[in-house]
Structures are given as structure tokens and as C-alpha cells.
Amino acid sequence: MSRTSIACTCAFLLGLLVSVQGVMAATVKDIQAQGAAMMKDAEDMVAHGGMGDTKAIVHHCGEVTRHAEAIVKTLPPTDPHGKEALPHLLEAIKQCKRVTELGDKVDPGASLNPAVKARAAAREAVKHLAALRESGA
């Protein structure tokens, strides 16, 4: 193999590595954005519960579920922080599905308990996602 072909191969592999790192960075940015949106909806969900607006609780819980599911799909499978965030994301999804099953015709107090649990799970997940960001995964 000539030096020119080795240099071309190295340049190609370096370009490939840089593009993979760019994709990972975009994924981490997507995870950050989804985590922030999930927390906003989780806080709004509980705030509406305090105001007795069951329809809003169900709506925001659906949004929390949507964000959490998107994060689960984009988590790097080998990152330890992602592995730590996963059970919390799944718990938020589980609790929000309970809210959805209760529906918007029940007393807001009945929906508030699983909504608060979903918010707590989302908070824990976001803590681990912040560590994911800091580790440069």
C-alpha cells in the first residue's frame, strides 16, 4: 500500500469519526431539549392539578410521555448516565399512563397523585441526563 493511499484512508476515517461525533452531539442536544420540554410539561401538569384542571393534567401528562419516549429512543446505550436515567423515564411514562387511564372526568385529586410521581421521576431522569451531557457522551 502506498503512502498516498494510506493517507487517503486515514483522512477518510478521520472524516468519518468527526461526522459520527457530530451526530452524537446532535443526539445529546436533542436529549437536552426533550428533557427541558418534559420538565416544563411535568411542572405545568402538577400546577394544573393544583388548580383542579383535570383536562390539562391529562394533556400535559401525554406530553411528558411523548418526550420521555423520545428520550428513551435516543439514549446512548452504553453511557452509564443514560442507563441510570432509563428507569426514571420509564416510571414517568408508567405514571402518566395511569393518569391517561383515569381520564379527564375524574376528580383532579385522583389524577394528581400519579402526576406528582411522574414529575418526581422526570426530575430524577433530568439529573442523570445532565450528567450525560457533561460526560460528553
Q: Would you list the domain boundaries of the chain?
A: 25-135
pLDDT of residue 133: 59
Nearest-5° Cα angle at 131, 63 to 15: 95
Taking residue 127's Cβ as centre, other Cβ atoms within 10 Å add up to 14
Stretch (H or E) spanning 105: none
pLDDT at 16 exceeding the cut of 70: no
pLDDT tens track for 51-92: 888 999 999 999 999 999 999 999 988 889 999 999 999 999
Give CA–CA dist 89/60, Å, rounded: 15
Residue keyed to cell 452504553: 78
pLDDT of residue 66: 96
**The CATH fold of domain 25-135:** Four Helix Bundle (Hemerythrin (Met), subunit A) (1.20.120)
pLDDT of residue 135: 57
